[in-house]
Amino acid sequence: MDLDYHDGCFVSKAQYLHNDQGIKKYMKSVRLVGEGVGHLQQYAEDAFFEYRVRQLIMNGVFEIQGVPKDMRFYSVKLC
């Protein structure tokens, strides 16, 4: 499995959550990871999915607000 295999799922979930918000504002990354993990057919550690979200931040897919110390301490939104 490629490391970026589930990235599209997180982007789709972020789009869904933004639509649910009505406007595109920051959401806790723990919420995004939870939504993504909850809809996957296979299990992996939350830490792996948080790593992927951080990679998407570094690749310019998400903007970050807060300190990326732990997924509870920062929020993200799609660029």
d(CA 9, CA 20): 16
At 64, the amino acid letter reads I
Confidence band for 5, pLDDT divided at 50, 70 and 90? confident
**Where are the chain's structural domains?**
7-61
> Average of pLDDT values for 40-63?
87
Q: Is the pLDDT of residue 55 over 90?
A: yes
pLDDT digits (tens, 9 = 90+) for 22-35: 888 999 999 998 88
Q: Is the pLDDT of residue 41 over 70?
A: no
